[in-house]
Structure 1
Amino acid sequence: MGVRRAAKGVGDFLVEMLGEAVAEVILNLLACALLGCLVLVVYLSWSLSPRFTIAGAGLLGLLLANGAWQSFRTSARGRRRRGLAALTAGCFTATATTALFLLLYSTGCDCL
């Protein structure tokens, strides 16, 4: 009985280790693809119009700054975010999550 239990434990460990390795490869590929798409968008927008690219980056910076301010400020009790405040806070959260994902997984990307 001890040999079967040990064999089952080793088999479970190997399956879990293989699953984690496959998930790591998929996440690295996804991060490389996302990073490549972001670079492509910046390249294409710069080649079309550098002025609009800088203006768009400035507007995006303002949107993210307002979203960060809305996310981290203390609001009055019982008041919810509405309209633009909710939109900018959501955009900030999505951008921060994407940046964290790229920081964790695209550092091992050899596509650069």
Structure 2
Amino acid sequence: MADKATTQKRAQRIRRQIKKVAGDRPRLSVHRTSKNIYAQVIDDAKGHTLAAASTLEKDFKAGKKTGADSAAAAAIGKLVAERAVKAGVKEVVFDRGAYIYHGRVKALAEAAREGGLSF
């Protein structure tokens, strides 16, 4: 199990690489815990969050049993993509943080692509 410092280093290394290739595109940042998953579309140039979604939202909690599975991650991916397109964002760079592209993170990314975001 990686300690906190190692995890933070990995996340910073990935963000540094993303910022090199991003250009003027915002980033789709993913954070997951054992019980929930969160996604934000962030404009780093202005320091603003353009769209966000998580499994903690009231309307999401009413319909789903848990926020800790791939189905919940896919629903959040589709929801954040819908909100980003509504805000005028079509292209993003995917920031997986320190997480590997597998399971819930992959489900969220694929659902965001289906929802209209390209990355």
- Common fold, TM-score beyond 0.5? no
The structure with the larger Rg is 1
- Identify the structure with the greater strand proportion: 2
- More helix, by proportion: 1
| TM-score normalized with structure 1 length | 0.33
Q: TM-score, normalised by structure 2?
A: 0.32
Higher relative contact order (CA 8 A, sep 6+): 1
